[in-house]
Chains A and B, each alone.
Chain A
Amino acid sequence: MLNDIFNILLPHMCLGGFIILLLVLSIVLHPRLYRYARLVAAVGIVSSIVLLSTVQTEPQYFGFQNSIMSDSYTLLFDFMILLCGFFVAILSRNLVKTIKGNAYTFYAILLTALFAGINIVSANDFLTLFVSIELLSFSTYFLIAARKGYYSKEASFKYLLTSAVSTGIFLFGVSYMYGITGSLNLSDIYEIITNQESSLMYSISSIMIILGIISKLAVFPFANWIIDVYKGSETSILAFLSTVPKLAVFAIVCRLLVFPLNNSFELTFVIAIAALFTAFWANTYAIREKNVKVILACSASANASYALLTASLVSVYNLSTVIFYLICYVFMNIAAFAFLNIYGDKNSMNVEDFQGLFTKNHGLVGAYAISIIALAGIPITSGFIAKIYLFSAIANSGLIFVPFLLALLLLTVVALYYYLKILLPLFKECDKNENTTDLKAVFSQKFVLVSAAIITLIIGIYPEILIELCRLIAYNI
């Protein structure tokens, strides 16, 4: 067991240590010293990122009676999750100001969520997976509720209800799977399944497992929570919600689809139709919506469904495109929410409120515009390459999926409409005399916004290195 810890679990242990440290500090320290909480959390995440270098990836390592594994695939996702966690931690300055006394607890919960995220990625056992997912959900309830006011509590409660139902469905599927195979271990199930004929029971159980997990991505049938949750949460928490659970869930869904659940023909179509339905729902819902947060919620749901549709058509090439898409996508989202964070949570977030911001804040609005343009998939940003690469995977999967692809492509036109709705007011000309808002940003917010936007641009201009990395990792899964 000690061997396992030193071989693959040092980052997890480091995060765990810092969680305990933060909890202890929250009891010991005076609430006046809340400012240092952010620093401690950031140090914890960074040291965890550094410790990722000690993880053994080649050959694959299985620890704790095969319930935890590690390879280059998990390493990449761990890194991305921790990086997003770092960005969220330094973005959450404004939020923490409002809950001074609970700052240390807040960061302890954030680190717990990250811990759960990297645990989901490396789970090799349905039990570990279940516990990690629950851990992630529970910390997310508290993070959503961290903002002051009624709406955040309502959002948190809605998320709790949806999660509870979807967890029930997931567990139901797992119990069937245990009934068929007599094992909870993913590798064992894979071995048993490959030697068996696919049965109806197996298909039903796979469908339930996947539908239960993907509720975190806001995919049909559990999609509606995302509107209320995004409306009620603070922007730095949104940066968390739209990246960390998404990365973790995609990592494990792709692994499940490639290994234990790859024997079910029906599953592909169920996911594809659910994804298509979600894309349709999310894109059309956003047309009439005025709140930027809700529009971005719909965009998050729609983007997840594009990637999920591709992931459901299992192949190595498709997997590499999904990984690439996710990496591009999280940077765009972090940049977008960083800007909303700078804009301030006290103001209402209607699209008209952003009018004419460009006249006084060229740099900040420019970076935000880059992220929105990237979400819409217009060159020369990473969104353009990601879209082409992702959709090329669907096009390569056979003529039967061409109608799906056509539908998705037409829905991206609808998506462009609501992205334009976000973008255009920013550039509206205002008279210089009119008092347009002059945004005040501190260094950490500017750092997150600008670095995420620059990464988006760089990937858009020269994507080859990242694509090559994604292909390598997809081959090594």
Chain B
Amino acid sequence: METFLSIPFLIFLPLVISLLLISPLFTKNEIIVRRFSKGVFTFHFLYTLLMLACFDKTNPYVSEIHFFGLDWVQSLGIKFIFQIDSVSMILTVLTSFVFLLASIASKFNIRENQKFYYSMLFLLMSATLGIFTSADMFVFFLFWELELIPAYFLIGGWQTFRSEEESSKAKASAVKFVLFTFLGSMVMLLGILLLHYYNYVSNGILSASFSDIIDSPIPAAIQNLIAICLIIGFGVKLPIIPLHSWLPDAHTNAPTPVSMVLAGILLKTGAYGIYRFNYETMPESFRVLAPYLAVLALINIIYTALVAYAQVDIKRIIAYSSISNMGLILLGMCAYNQIGFSASVFHMVAHALVTCGLFMIAGIVYLRCKDRNINTLSGIAAYMPRLFGFSVIIVLASIGVPLFAPFISEILTIIGALNSELSELSKMAALFSLPLLIISSCYMLKFLHKGFFGEGKEEYAKINDITVHEFVVLGAVLAGLIIFGLYPEAILGMI
């Protein structure tokens, strides 16, 4: 069985499919393209499930690619090396799952130029999988930068209604996304280059793989400098306030499936980067910086929750709530103990599911009612009872009602932060983040209340309820939320 499992296949299958789709030889028939892509996504998801089934947490998958028997760039010690440990495994399965959902959700949102769209989607998938599995800093950075190209096209390329205004807005926010991410990644590159060099000076090994850098005896001051550079880099993606301003625009103006991918997966790459570089590879400096990060996380949680309450666009509400939730993930990590860390990984999964569901709902509403403003929307519940049912459950899940996954992760995060031994700051942050639960229920329930209840409008009479595709997406999200809510040990046991 083990012989069939290969990490390069996992990462480069989407890349190959992407090149295949974009090549002029492949058929131009849009239906075939869509079904073929969906088939590949399904196959990929099943393949990751197979890997998960054979996964042994004491014995991570490792794989190295040689070029003509040599490392990739020997003179810099860069190896094309991949490793899947438990966190990578969870995020890999999650990535595959979210991309599958996004491809199903694409049917009604993406109607033109599908060849290019699916090609970019596969390229983005390849890049994110590369980020989650690479065990070498420079390979990580390569995939991190590679992500920019598909992300630009996906955010700016396809809009639900293809109006001129919508399109120019989306293009502008795509440029903003690319510039912000590039800014972060350049600061991160500074950190990586310094880490690479000082590891060589103090360890004597010219290598960029994480296993050679862990606990390397770099002087504390330089280590802190490197850690700050890296955190700024990841902080743009995570995002940490004040580096967040690209996110609401990008998430709002992207088409629905892309928003799902952005919020579900791309934000997690920032959190994963902090885990992989700071938490695991340079624990010394992370222990020093964690209390301050916890305060930043608290600001993230409270400030963006308040901002979300003030929004009227439903996609913007969800986007800000994402930032708030990413603050929670960061807070868990800053606790620097087992509970906090597993809670933060668990919350990555839970938040990915919730945010996929919420963006799907927002997308469905926008597609049917051509409107996203909660002040003008009202009374959808009467016309779309099934959507209403799903919305109520997913919104309740998102505000942390028991039985659902976010409840477990939020509680565990706060317990973890309260038990933190690093500093009193983390405990204070945990205590002050409790109001989040109240504010988040305020804005989520406001969304539900204003959008779905009240008097229905006449023009809604013709709209139909959710279709099979949308039902499948929402159902899958719901199933995931309930399964992990009832049996959190499935994830917590792996870490």
Determine if A214 is an interface residue (Cβ-Cβ < 8 Å). Answer: no
Q: Give the 10 A-B residue pairs with the shortest CB-CB distance, closest first.
A: A395-B193, A409-B186, A413-B183, A379-B142, A396-B197, A379-B146, A392-B193, A467-B75, A416-B182, A413-B182
A406 and B187 contact, Cβ closer than 8 Å, known pairs A378-B148, A462-B67: yes
CB closest residue in chain B, given A413: B183
Q: Is the interface of A mostly helix, strand, loop or mixed?
A: helix
Determine if A405 is an interface residue (Cβ-Cβ < 8 Å). Answer: yes
Determine if B163 is an interface residue (Cβ-Cβ < 8 Å). Answer: no
Can you offer 16 A-B residue contacts whose CB atoms are under 8 A? A373-B149, A379-B143, A389-B76, A392-B76, A395-B197, A402-B225, A410-B183, A410-B186, A410-B187, A412-B182, A412-B186, A416-B182, A424-B175, A427-B153, A464-B72, A468-B74
Chain A, interface size category, equals 35 or more
Determine if B196 is an interface residue (Cβ-Cβ < 8 Å). Answer: yes
The answer for the CA separation of A402 and B153 in the assembled complex, in Å, is 34
Fill in one digit per residue for B324-337: 1 if any A CB lies within 8 Å of its CB, else 0: 00000000000000
A464 in complex: contacting residue of B73, B141, B148, B175, CB < 8 Å: B73
Residues of chain A contacted by B463 (CB below 8 angstroms): none
Contact call B75/A378, Cβ cutoff below 8 A: no
B146 in complex: contacting residue of A378, A420, A462, CB < 8 Å: A378
The answer for the CA separation of A417 and B153 in the assembled complex, in Å, is 15
The answer for the CA separation of A194 and B126 in the assembled complex, in Å, is 54
Contact call A416/B75, Cβ cutoff below 8 A: no
17 further A-B pairs in the complex, CB-CB below 8 A; given A378-B148, A464-B72: A379-B143, A388-B193, A389-B73, A392-B76, A392-B193, A392-B196, A395-B190, A409-B186, A409-B189, A410-B186, A417-B179, A420-B178, A424-B175, A462-B67, A463-B73, A467-B73, A471-B75
Fill in one digit per residue for A388-401: 1 if any B CB lies within 8 Å of its CB, else 0: 11011001100100
Residues of chain B contacted by A468 (CB below 8 angstroms): 74-75
Residues of chain B contacted by A379 (CB below 8 angstroms): 142-143, 145-146
CB closest residue in chain B, given A392: B193
The answer for the CA separation of A378 and B138 in the assembled complex, in Å, is 13
Determine if A286 is an interface residue (Cβ-Cβ < 8 Å). Answer: no
Chain B, interface size category, equals 35 or more
B145 in complex: contacting residue of A362, A378, A405, A427, CB < 8 Å: A378
Contact call A384/B145, Cβ cutoff below 8 A: yes
* Nearest CB of B to A304, in Å: 19
Residues of chain B contacted by A177 (CB below 8 angstroms): none
Determine if B171 is an interface residue (Cβ-Cβ < 8 Å). Answer: yes
* Nearest CB of B to A198, in Å: 28
Determine if A380 is an interface residue (Cβ-Cβ < 8 Å). Answer: yes
* Nearest CB of A to B120, in Å: 12
**Interface positions of B from 174 to 218, Cβ below 8 Å from A:** 175, 178-179, 182-183, 186-187, 189-190, 193-194, 196-197
* Nearest CB of B to A321, in Å: 10
| B residues in contact (CB < 8 Å) with A | 24, 67, 70-76, 113, 138, 141-143, 145-146, 148-149, 153, 171, 175, 178-179, 182-183, 186-187, 189-190, 193-194, 196-197, 222, 225
The answer for the CA separation of A462 and B193 in the assembled complex, in Å, is 20
Residues of chain B contacted by A392 (CB below 8 angstroms): 76, 193, 196-197
* Nearest CB of B to A395, in Å: 4
* Nearest CB of B to A26, in Å: 46
CB closest residue in chain B, given A391: B193
CB closest residue in chain A, given B141: A388
CB closest residue in chain A, given B74: A464
Residues of chain A contacted by B171 (CB below 8 angstroms): 424
* Nearest CB of B to A398, in Å: 10
* Nearest CB of B to A466, in Å: 10
CB closest residue in chain A, given B167: A429
Determine if A385 is an interface residue (Cβ-Cβ < 8 Å). Answer: yes
The answer for the CA separation of A420 and B176 in the assembled complex, in Å, is 11
The answer for the CA separation of A377 and B175 in the assembled complex, in Å, is 16
A464 and B70 contact, Cβ closer than 8 Å, known pairs A378-B149, A380-B146, A420-B175: yes
Residues of chain B contacted by A410 (CB below 8 angstroms): 183, 186-187
Contact call A384/B142, Cβ cutoff below 8 A: yes
Residues of chain A contacted by B141 (CB below 8 angstroms): 388
Residues of chain B contacted by A389 (CB below 8 angstroms): 73, 76
B73 in complex: contacting residue of A385, A417, A427, CB < 8 Å: A385
Contact call B190/A409, Cβ cutoff below 8 A: yes
* Nearest CB of A to B338, in Å: 35
Contact call A399/B146, Cβ cutoff below 8 A: no
Residues of chain A contacted by B76 (CB below 8 angstroms): 388-389, 392, 467
The answer for the CA separation of A395 and B76 in the assembled complex, in Å, is 13
Residues of chain B contacted by A388 (CB below 8 angstroms): 76, 138, 141, 189, 193
The answer for the CA separation of A416 and B189 in the assembled complex, in Å, is 15
* Nearest CB of B to A420, in Å: 6
Residues of chain B contacted by A429 (CB below 8 angstroms): 113
